């Protein structure tokens, strides 16, 4: 890979890793579901007018908005409000093992020795993480794993669904997810208007960053790289996302770096490496 494209790939990884930190900053000022709603509104406003889709594709995009928009993103924002940034980044990576298992069950893909070892390592890492002090209760663990499962289901749907340009998919999924997440905020959160009025530049900056930098700029660069290079040369870089997120969490948020996080995180990343490097030509990974 040319140095220019390598640097672009590393820029995307840095954007995605910092996205975890930015979400935590944002949910400290805005209720998680409200922030998710604002993020979707901005993504839809910036993408939908420029990426039309066929009417026949709308039912598929509506279904995807439930699994990807509501289940994955909404639970990600809620979970990161209750867990350390690095731990959250590691748990969300479990979407890859979940996607592997779903592909075996529903697409009849075969499990080789490397993928089995990767699954065992990944789930062992979660067990180690769950036994450490970085998760104060089982709730953040469950929420973040459900978010990862929503990502995995979405990848299965995307793989079997109609071909849609990535940014068109992002825009229309965001559009259809807006009323779902807004309803959740109305039912389960309070003080939304006060939060909007009192939010500082950090809160609003977090909304803009997660929508523009993470969802539009980073994905635009990423899919351009995937078009220019073999998938198995690009996808392995995503393994740096949780590693960098753990480091940024410790540096910027004061997160702990205990033995449970280092050992559990190492197992998760090693397991996902085995899975991704084995199937990289068939299913590209997609961080948050």
* 8 Å CB contact between 65 and 180: yes
- Please give the distance of CA 10 from its chain centroid, rounded to a whole number: 17
* 8 Å CB contact between 90 and 20: no
Predicted local confidence at residue 232, as pLDDT = 67
| Cα distance between residue 195 and residue 167, in whole Å | 30
Residue 237 is classified by DSSP as G
Predicted local confidence at residue 141, as pLDDT = 83
Predicted local confidence at residue 199, as pLDDT = 94
Residue 200: CB atoms within 10 A of its CB come to 11
3-state helix, strand, coil in the chain (%, to 5): 80, 0, 20
Tell me the HSE value of 141 on the side-chain side, using a 13 A CA sphere.
15
Predicted local confidence at residue 184, as pLDDT = 96
Token match 């940014």: residue?
Answer: 167
Residue 236: CB atoms within 10 A of its CB come to 16
3-state class (DSSP) for residue 38: helix
Predicted local confidence at residue 264, as pLDDT = 85
Predicted local confidence at residue 87, as pLDDT = 82
- Chunked into runs of 10 residues, the chain (288 residues) has average pLDDT values of 87 93 94 97 96 94 95 93 84 87 84 87 83 68 91 89 91 96 96 95 96 92 85 77 87 81 86 71 47
CA distance readout (Å), 54 to 48, 57, 68: 12, 5, 20
| Cα distance between residue 166 and residue 89, in whole Å | 23
Single out the residue of 255, 253, 54 nearest to residue 163, CA to CA. 54
3-state class (DSSP) for residue 230: coil
- Give pTM, 2 decimals: 0.87
**Dihedral pair phi/psi, residue 21, rounded to 5°:** -65, -45
* 8 Å CB contact between 99 and 156: yes
Predicted local confidence at residue 226, as pLDDT = 81
């Amino acid at each position: 890979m040319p140095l220019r494209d390598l640097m672009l790939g590393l820029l995307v990884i840095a954007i995605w890793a910092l996205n975890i930190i930015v979400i935590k900053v944002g949910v400290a000022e805005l209720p998680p579901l409200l922030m998710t709603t604002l993020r979707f509104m901005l993504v839809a406003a910036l993408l939908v007018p420029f990426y039309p889709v066929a009417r026949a594709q709308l039912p598929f995009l509506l279904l995807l908005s439930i699994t990807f928009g509501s289940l994955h993103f909404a639970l990600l924002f809620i979970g990161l409000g209750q867990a350390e940034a690095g731990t959250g980044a590691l748990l969300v990576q479990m979407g890859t093992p979940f996607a592997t298992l779903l592909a075996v069950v529903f697409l009849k893909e075969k499990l080789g020795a490397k993928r089995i070892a990767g699954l065992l390592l990944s789930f062992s890492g979660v067990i180690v993480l769950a036994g450490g002090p970085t998760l104060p209760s089982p709730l953040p663990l469950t929420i973040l794993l459900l978010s990862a499962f929503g990502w995995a289901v979405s990848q299965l749907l995307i793989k079997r669904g109609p071909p849609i340009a990535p940014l068109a998919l992002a825009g229309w999924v965001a559009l259809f997810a807006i009323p779902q997440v807004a309803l959740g905020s109305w039912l389960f959160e309070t003080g939304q208007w006060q939060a909007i009025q009192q939010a500082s530049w950090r809160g609003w900056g977090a909304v803009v960053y997660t929508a523009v930098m993470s969802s539009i700029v980073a994905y635009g660069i990423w899919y351009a790289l995937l078009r220019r290079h073999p998938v198995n040369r690009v996808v392995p870089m995503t393994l740096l996302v949780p590693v960098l997120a753990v480091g940024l969490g410790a540096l910027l948020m004061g997160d702990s770096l205990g033995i449970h996080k280092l050992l559990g995180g190492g197992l998760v990343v090693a397991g996902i490496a085995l899975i991704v490097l084995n199937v990289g030509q068939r299913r590209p990974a997609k961080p948050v």
